Amino acid sequence: MGALQWLVHNACLTELARKGIEYAQRILRGIKFNKVMVKKLGKKEFAHEVWLEGMKRRADTVAKNGKKVISRKATQLSDVTEETAKKYIDEVAGYRGKKVQNPKRMEEGVVRIRKNTKAELSIPKQEKNIPKNIKEY
Could you give the CA distance from residue 93 to residue 96 in angstroms, rounded to a whole number? 6
Are 46 and 63 contacting, i.e. CB atoms less than 8 angstroms apart?
Answer: yes
Sign of CA dihedral 61, 33, 8, 56: positive
Residue type, 40: K
Planar angle of CA 29, 97, 43, nearest 5 degrees? 45
pLDDT recorded at residue 15: 81
99 DSSP 8-state letter = B
Q: Which residue has the higher pLDDT, 117 or 17?
A: 117
> Comparing C-alpha atoms, which of 115, 43, 123 is closest to residue 78?
123
Could you give the CA distance from residue 110 to residue 86 in angstroms, rounded to a whole number? 29
pLDDT recorded at residue 12: 80
pLDDT recorded at residue 112: 94
Taking 80 as the threshold, does the pLDDT of residue 1 lie above it? no
Please report, for the chain, the start and end positions of each structural domain, with discontinuous segments joined by +: 1-41, 43-136
Mean pLDDT along residues 119-125:
96
Structure confidence by residue, pLDDT tens digits, 56-101: 899 999 999 999 999 999 999 999 999 999 999 999 999 999 999 9
